[in-house]
Amino acid sequence: MTTVSTVDRGDRVIARRVTVNAPADDLFAQVADPHRHGELDGSGTVKDTVKGPTTLSRGAKFSVGMKQFGVPYRITSTVTEFTDTGDTKVIEWQHPLGHKWRWEFVAVGPSSTEVTESFVYGTAKIPKMLEVTKQTAQNANGITKTLEKLAARYS
């Protein structure tokens, strides 16, 4: 059984962590390719219709087809952080409304990685609306499911 734990990253940040039996480089490569986000997604909102590069970098833009509450839409994000060196790798992108999705990969062995996914909404234009509409709770659940799915894939 995979254990996903809550990580305290401060106010208006939802973060979860899991240890995955795979090298950090392999896991980072999956998230750095927006065309693979659909296979990672545990929330059921990310679709496989992606426009953008196959490998992201700082400043890169990519758009993803999404579907929530039965309504399809497209969102374009900009990569705000991209670190692919050493034992810690980070990728973060920002949506047009200001909130961010962040992934951190810390190698804890040659084939074991601590993966932390965060929804950073203190940077959103209207963070209170995300709380009132319960988007924060929905995203917390989606992050947990995504990390469980990722860990199960390599168990």
Could you tell me the CA-to-CA distances from 154 to 3, 38, 39, 110, 147 in Å, in that order?
Answer: 14, 17, 14, 14, 11
- Percentage of residues in the chain having pLDDT higher than 70: 99
pLDDT tens per residue, range 101-129 = 999 999 999 899 999 999 999 999 999 99
Distance CA 36, CA 38 (A): 5
pLDDT digits (tens, 9 = 90+) for 64-96: 888 877 888 888 999 999 999 888 999 999 999
Question: Tell me, what CATH number does 111's domain have?
Answer: 3.30.530.20
Residue 23 has pLDDT above 90, yes or no: yes
pLDDT for the residue numbered 1: 62
Structurally, the chain folds into a number of domains equal to 1
- Angle at Cα 81 formed by Cα 66 and Cα 92, nearest 5°? 30
**pLDDT for residue 78:** 98
* DSSP assigned state of 69: T
Q: What is the value of pTM for the model shown?
A: 0.94
Residue-number span of the structural domain to which 9 is assigned: 5-153
